[in-house]
Amino acid sequence: VTDQQPPPATLTCDDVRDLAAGFVLDALTPDEMVAVRTHLASCDDAHAEMAELAAALPVLAESVPIVEPPAGLGARVRAAAEADLASRAAADGPSAMTAWAPVIPPSGVASMPEATPVAPATPAPVPAAARGPRPASWALGIAAVLAIAVLGGWNLVLQGQLSDAQAYEAHMGMVLDLAAEPGAQTVVLASDGDGPTGLAVLGPNGEMAMAMQSMPATSGTQVYEAWAIAGDAAPVPLGSFQVGNDGTGTFALDDLDAEPGVVLAVTLEPGPGATAPTGPIVASGASSSG
Amino acid sequence: MSDPTRTLPLRVPTPVDDADRAILGRVAGGDLDALDALYERYKTMAYSIAYRITDDTTLAEDVVQEAFLGAWRNAARYVEGRGSVKTWLLAIVHHRAVDAVRRRRPTTELPDREDVPPPPLRLPDVWTEVAVRLDAEQVRAALSVLSDVQREVIELAYYRGLTQVQIAERTNTPLGTVKSRMRLGLLAMREVLQEHAP
């Protein structure tokens, strides 16, 4: 047997019945999952076997040992939802896109955006005024962000990866909003030549949001690790993220204590959890308070 | 193993279901306090499942955060009458946890990441018959009917995140046998739940 053999593009009802138990247990390959879902979406047969098999799942869920979550996790969930609200607001209007803007701890690994377009949840109206004015002193930084967003978005659309582009642009909206906060610092991240570029903003209350583009895709356990470097001090790991084929990566924190002038750098590491950089610096830049 | 003429009775909505749906409706409208309420109701179950599958506190936290954020963003897509909010939410947690452990494994055990479509966030549309409120005796009774080989394949799938093909390789068992053991094991547990249904 091999895990590399793709399933047939179109499944018959018998194929689906054969895969049903694996489907309800999440035990199919991603290709098989998509093929089954595609079939179910258009099949006249109700495929009652799916519900029959799934009826046993609560037994499995209820039989796990109870472990209480850490006290701060609820706040992280809420912060992530707040960031999502901000992203929707940044997208503006009825065409607001759903966004993926994880807020993760320094040790966490950010997940990449869902690549499948998802029907947006009812957007919560957020008055534009609530986001506050954008000081003129940020004009240069914001112009750089917009240039990156527009060019990046255009390239991504050309690549046929619209949903990732939407998520990236929505995250960029969050970066813009954070840049508008009084006391925020911007960091333009650049590399030699035509390599990765991006922009990060350090908010006045420990928030940090970063959006990168033109990054080679990670594979396996590889991650991009973000580092903060203050003066001659050793680099401090901020967290890691992975990058897909669209070449964009987003990253956010809510507890960064950064001094003015701090340098941010991104390295490619073999896995999450690095305590010191081992891979090459792919992009870096120093913070500027305008 | 299963009498095809029998079907589980349609679930009667409970006050818990009604309260959950009301909360989810507010979540769909962008109410952060409602998300807090949903989290408080199911944080322990969600984290317990995530930790059981990932065996890693940091990864489990990320999974739970992603799952609740997924629920936050897709609450409007929840279809009333197709299972409880709890079942819907915990299935999202399971999807996320399985995806997380598969990404964590060495690349030799993973399909090429470039070929990996996103994990499904929503349940199949046929998700209708799931019982929700099980007591410890029902759980014990349902698990006790599994043969050793059925328990093995179901545990490797549900708790370890292995695909059917990976299970076949690991247990040196034909793929068709793995599928059959999964199916018969799930149906056996369902039958016990029917017998213990109130």
**CA-to-CA separations, A236 to A20, A76, A251, A262, A274, in angstroms, rounded:** 47, 21, 16, 11, 10
In terms of CA atoms, which chain A residue is nearest residue B30?
A124
Q: Which A-chain residues 200-239 have CB contacts (< 8 A) with chain B?
A: 217-221
| Partners of residue A68 in chain B, C-beta under 8 Å | 44, 47
Give me the pLDDT at residue A150, please: 45
- Does position B182 have pLDDT exceeding 90, yes or no? yes
Average model confidence (pLDDT) for chain B?
79
A194/A214 Cα distance (integer angstroms): 8
Give me the pLDDT at residue B106, please: 52
Closest CA to B155 of B127, B190, B186: B186
**CA-to-CA separations, A106 to A168, A255, B68, in angstroms, rounded:** 21, 9, 20
| Partners of residue B193 in chain A, C-beta under 8 Å | 55-56, 59
pLDDT-derived band of residue B78, with 50, 70 and 90 as boundaries? confident
pLDDT digits 0-9 by tens, A87-109: 777 764 443 333 322 222 233 33
Cβ-based contacts under 8 A for chains A and B: 263
- Regions of chain A with pLDDT less than 50: 1-4, 92-142, 144-163, 290
Average pLDDT over residues B59-77: 91
pTM of full prediction above 0.80: no
B35/A147 Cα distance (integer angstroms): 35
- Does position B105 have pLDDT exceeding 70, yes or no? no
Closest CA to A250 of A171, A178, A132, A134: A171
pLDDT digits 0-9 by tens, B5-39: 333 333 445 666 778 889 999 999 999 999 999 99
Give me the pLDDT at residue B151, please: 94
Closest CA to B87 of B129, B44, B130, B116: B130
- Does position B146 have pLDDT exceeding 50, yes or no? yes
B51 membership: H or E segment, kind and range: helix B32-54
Residue B7, min C-alpha distance to chain A (Å): 8
Burial B4-13 (b: 16+ CB within 10 A, else e): eeeebeebee
- Report the SS3 class of residue A179: helix
| Partners of residue A34 in chain B, C-beta under 8 Å | 117
pLDDT-derived band of residue B82, with 50, 70 and 90 as boundaries? low
- Token pair 């870096």 in the structure block, residue: A284
Q: What percent of chain A has pLDDT over 70?
A: 67
Give me the pLDDT at residue B126, please: 29
pLDDT digits 0-9 by tens, A164-197: 555 666 667 677 777 777 777 878 787 766 678 8
List the single best residue of B62, B87, B104 to mutate versus A (max A Cβ within 10 A). B62
| Partners of residue A26 in chain B, C-beta under 8 Å | 94-95, 98, 157-158, 161
Give me the pLDDT at residue A169, please: 64
β-pairing, A263-269 vs A109-110, is: unpaired
Angle at A237 between CA A105 and CA A176, to 5 degrees: 65
List the single best residue of A3, A16, A19, A59 to mutate versus B (max B Cβ within 10 A). A59
- Residue A159 in contact with partner chain B when CB distance is under 8 A: no
A17/A3 Cα distance (integer angstroms): 20
| Partners of residue A77 in chain B, C-beta under 8 Å | 35, 39, 64-65, 68-69
